[in-house]
Amino acid sequence: MRQRIPIPRLLRAMEFIGGDTEPAAVLDHTVRTAAELTGARYAALAVLNEDGNGIGHLVTHGTGPSPERLVRALLDGTSPRSPGILHVPLLVHGAKFGALQVADRADGRPFTAEDRQLLRILTTEAGIALGNARLHAAVRTQSRWMDSSLELSTALLADEEVDALTVVAEQARRLASAATGAVLEPTEDRDLRVVAASADAPLELIGAVIPGHALAVRQVLAGEPLDIEDPAGDPRIDADRAAIGLGPALLLPLASDGTVLGALALTRTPGAPPFSVPERAMTTQFAQQAALALLLARARRDREQLAVLEDRNRIARDLHDLVIQRLFAVGMVLEGAGRAVPEAADRLETAIRELDATIQEIRTAIFALQQSPDETPSGLRTRVLRETGAAAETLGFAPSVSFAGPVDALVPAPVEAQLIAALREGLSNAARHARASRVDVTVDAIAPLPDDRPAVTLTVTDDGVGIAPEQKRRSGLRNLRDRALTLGGDAWVAPGPDGRGTTLTWRVPR
Note the pLDDT tens digit of each residue in 15-61: 545 555 577 788 888 888 888 888 888 888 888 876 666 777 788 88
For residue 236, report the phi and psi dihedrals to the nearest 5 degrees: -75, -15
Which has the minimum average pLDDT: 136-140, 175-179, 312-316, 369-373?
369-373
**Whether the predicted pLDDT of 419 surpasses 80:** yes
Can you tell me the distance from the alpha carbon of 411 to that of 444, in angstroms, rounded to the nearest whole number? 10
| Region(s) of the chain under CATH 3.30.565.10 | 378-510
**Whether the predicted pLDDT of 147 surpasses 70:** no
> Between residues 53 and 436, which one has the greater pLDDT?
436
- Quick: pLDDT tens for 134-146: 777 667 766 666 6
To the question of domain 7-137 being in CATH 3.40.50.9100, the answer is: no
- Quick: pLDDT tens for 201-236: 777 788 888 888 888 888 888 888 888 877 766 777
Residue 390 belongs to what H/E stretch? helix 380-395
Counting Cβ atoms within 10 Å, is residue 122 exposed (0-12), middle (13-18) or buried (19+)?
buried
> Between residues 162 and 45, which one has the greater pLDDT?
45
For the chain, the average pLDDT equals 77
Q: Name the superfamily (CATH) of residues 378-510.
A: Histidine kinase-like ATPase, C-terminal domain (3.30.565.10)
Q: Is 39 helix (H, G, I), strand (E, B) or coil?
A: coil
Split at pLDDT 50, 70, 90, the class of 249 is confident
Q: How far is CA 309 from CA 245, 302, 313, 416, in A?
A: 46, 10, 6, 28
Measuring CA to CA, which residue among 25, 1, 4 is closest to residue 13? 25
What residues contact 219, with CB distance under 8 A and at least 6 apart? 226, 236
Query: How distant is the alpha carbon of residue 131 from its chain centre?
Result: 35
- Quick: pLDDT tens for 77-129: 666 666 678 888 887 767 778 888 888 888 888 888 888 888 888 888 887 87
- What is the predicted pLDDT for the residue at 239? 46
Measuring CA to CA, which residue among 170, 185, 152 is closest to residue 255? 185
**Whether the predicted pLDDT of 348 surpasses 60:** yes
Is the distance from CB of 189 to CB of 212 less than 8 angstroms?
Answer: yes
Architecture of domain 163-297: 2-Layer Sandwich (3.30)
Q: How far is CA 341 from CA 154, 273, 338, 344, 356, in A?
A: 69, 88, 5, 6, 21
Question: Is this structure's pTM higher than 0.85?
Answer: no
**Whether the predicted pLDDT of 505 surpasses 90:** yes
Split at pLDDT 50, 70, 90, the class of 241 is very low
Can you tell me the distance from the alpha carbon of 460 to that of 481, in angstroms, rounded to the nearest whole number? 14
- Quick: pLDDT tens for 283-324: 888 888 778 777 776 777 677 777 777 777 777 777 777 777
What's the rounded mean pLDDT across residues 263-278?
84
What residues contact 138, with CB distance under 8 A and at least 6 apart? 278
| Region(s) of the chain under CATH 3.30.450.40 | 7-137, 163-297
What's the rounded mean pLDDT across residues 261-290?
83
Which has the minimum average pLDDT: 153-162, 170-179, 210-219, 467-476?
153-162
